[in-house]
């Protein structure tokens, strides 16, 4: 008798660029909004010296074991736990591989694991000491390394599902983008087309020992120069938009080809550095929670 195997439907839908920007802006606005609100809400208390906080009107609420302070710690820890769990499940459990686009899960993971530490920061009331300080600074190291890891991740071309592309696959994508550029240039004024081809050839043959950030900055200046030139040329809006997108794709892929091997190596090193801080933070947080509950600090429960 055959067993029925539950297969999750493929719902790996990719957002449009505009929807993706809105999505990222919304997540960023939440983090910034929460940070600003909590800063203003407890400004008077947090600016009071540690010796005098006991007499502050908000001490019973904003102290680490107070109603608000304790709640922020619980919520912040919960958000980090959820952020790590759902991303690891989506990435490593095969049956979940068709649910959503991996990069969106990564971005949501970063959102939760940024908002969580913000809440925990206010849970501490900016008072660090003892073994908990090790967990806090490990958390800071995890967040900081996460930002760096996100930058490195973006430098490695991937499919929609998050699979790393080989050097040959990336080169083929770059050639396709280049072909689109040249096909559009064929319908443009010869003088402008020749000038643009020369700029792109110069950018493609630039020194590979140029720093990553310097190369990005150089490409952005070239894109701005091309965009300014297109405004003065007699080119319809649709062709102009398609050309600019193709130029961006070709430059980005050229840049990534020159750095692919190095970025893959850096990404492996990043995993080695990122994981220990996360494990240290997890162990100490568990100890902190157990000790807190053992001493009777159970918040509203």
Distance CA 14, CA 167 (A): 24
Length of the chain (residues): 301
CA distance 266 to 35: 31
| pLDDT higher than threshold 60 for residue 6 | no
**Which whole-number Å values give the CA distances from 176 to 48, 146, 173, 201, in the listed order?**
61, 32, 5, 15
Summarised one tens digit per residue, pLDDT across range 58-77 is 999 999 889 999 999 999 99
pLDDT tier for residue 234 given thresholds of 50, 70 and 90: low
Residues 206-230 pLDDT 10s: 545 556 666 677 777 777 777 766 6
Tell me the whole-structure pTM to 2 decimals: 0.66
138 or 235: which leads in pLDDT? 138
Q: What percent of the chain has pLDDT over 90?
A: 22
pLDDT tens digits for range 103-156: 888 889 889 989 998 999 999 888 877 777 777 778 888 888 877 777 777 777
Q: Say what the pLDDT of residue 20 is.
A: 84
73 in Cβ contact with 64 (< 8 Å): yes
CA 160 from chain center: how many Å? 16
Give mean pLDDT, residues 98-103.
78
What local confidence, expressed as pLDDT, does residue 34 receive?
96
> How far apart, in Å, do the first and last CA atoms of the chain sit?
49
* pLDDT digit string, tens, across residues 245-296: 777 777 777 777 777 777 777 777 777 777 788 888 888 888 888 888 888 8
């Amino acid at each position: 008798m055959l067993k029925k195997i539950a297969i999750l439907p493929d719902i790996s839908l990719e957002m449009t660029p505009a929807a993706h920007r809105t999505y990222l802006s919304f997540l960023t606005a939440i983090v910034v909004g929460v940070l600003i609100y909590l800063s203003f809400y407890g400004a008077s208390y947090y600016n009071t010296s540690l010796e005098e906080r006991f007499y502050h009107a908000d001490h019973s609420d904003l102290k680490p074991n107070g109603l608000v302070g304790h709640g922020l710690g619980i919520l912040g820890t919960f958000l980090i736990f959820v952020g790590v769990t759902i991303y690891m499940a989506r990435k490593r459990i095969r049956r979940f591989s068709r649910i959503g686009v991996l990069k969106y899960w990564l971005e949501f993971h970063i959102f939760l694991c940024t908002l969580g530490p913000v809440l925990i920061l206010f849970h501490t009331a900016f008072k660090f000491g003892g073994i908990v300080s090790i967990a806090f600074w490990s958390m800071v190291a995890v967040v900081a390394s996460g930002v760096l890891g996100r930058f490195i991740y973006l430098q490695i071309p991937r499919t929609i599902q998050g699979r790393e592309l080989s050097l040959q696959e990336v080169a083929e994508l770059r050639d396709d983008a280049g072909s689109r550029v040249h096909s559009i240039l064929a319908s443009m004024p010869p003088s402008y087309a020749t000038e643009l081809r020369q700029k792109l050839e110069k950018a493609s043959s630039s020194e590979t020992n140029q720093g990553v950030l310097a190369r990005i900055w150089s490409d952005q200046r070239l894109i701005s120069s091309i965009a300014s030139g297109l405004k003065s040329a007699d080119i319809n809006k649709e062709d102009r938009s398609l050309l600019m997108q193709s130029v961006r794709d070709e430059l980005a892929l050229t840049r990534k080809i020159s750095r692919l091997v190095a970025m893959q190596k850096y990404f492996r090193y990043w995993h080695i550095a990122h994981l220990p801080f996360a494990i240290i933070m997890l162990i100490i947080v568990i100890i902190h929670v157990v000790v807190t509950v053992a001493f009777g600090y159970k918040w509203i429960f």
